[in-house]
Amino acid sequence: MIKRYIKESKNIRFEGNGYSEDWEKEAALRGLPNIKTTPKALDALLSDKTDLLFSETAVFTKREAHARHEILLEAFYKKLQIEARVIGELGVNIIIPTAVTYQSKLVQNVQGLKALGLGEETYKAQLEIIVKISEHVSFIKGDIDRMVAERKKANNIEDLREKAIVYDEKVKPFFQAIRYHVDKLEQLVDDSEWPLPKFRELLFIK
């Protein structure tokens, strides 16, 4: 039985990196689908071929496969829902206030140097950091607001598959965009001011 399955599955087995462009090219050559998002990939559970396979091997009935499909879709979108809420909370309640507090200290420093009558060259670096902090804070706040708006739209969708797809395509992309600007702030804000572990510190946290 195992020997037969090994032979029959030869066309879908790939010993290389399944996330690489090599697999994309190989999949195209073999005429295989290359579905890149979880909600759409889960549709395979509902296909006639999958139904036949599960029936022959007594793994799932058709009803059980449909139930599993719904459970996985719900778990997927709820995970993104939680991540979006946490990202929004961290950004608005921790990251932005921390960056603004540090920025205010830099502003006070610049004002003090100006009061002493010192030239702009003595506080030019501080001014550059102040501007960069404002830019990153603006991007973070804007992206969080847009992410929350998309999340609320997604929450009103009844169909589980459609909801999961909207979360994947409309909400999830904000995660990386927000993270980029948070990473930049992490590099700008004083270590003593930053409230969260930095990447290099994660290596030594037990």
Q: What is the pLDDT of residue 167?
A: 98
Which residue range is the domain that position 140 belongs to?
79-202
Flag whether 46 is in a domain: no
Q: What pLDDT band is residue 201 in, cutting at 50, 70 and 90? A: confident
CATH (domain of 166): 1.20.120.1560
Flag whether 105 is in a domain: yes
Q: What is the pLDDT of residues 159-179, one digit of tens each?
A: 999 999 999 999 999 999 999
Percentage of the chain beyond pLDDT 70 is 100
Q: What is the pLDDT of residue 22?
A: 85
Flag whether 134 is in a domain: yes
Flag whether 28 is in a domain: no
Q: How many domains does the chain have?
A: 1
Q: Please state the pTM of the whole predicted model.
A: 0.84
Flag whether 63 is in a domain: no
The 8-class DSSP code of residue 196 comes to S
Flag whether 19 is in a domain: no
Flag whether 180 is in a domain: yes
Cα distance between residue 141 and residue 144, in whole Å: 5
Flag whether 115 is in a domain: yes
CA dist 81 → 5, 36, 87, 175, 182 (Å)? 39, 20, 10, 11, 20
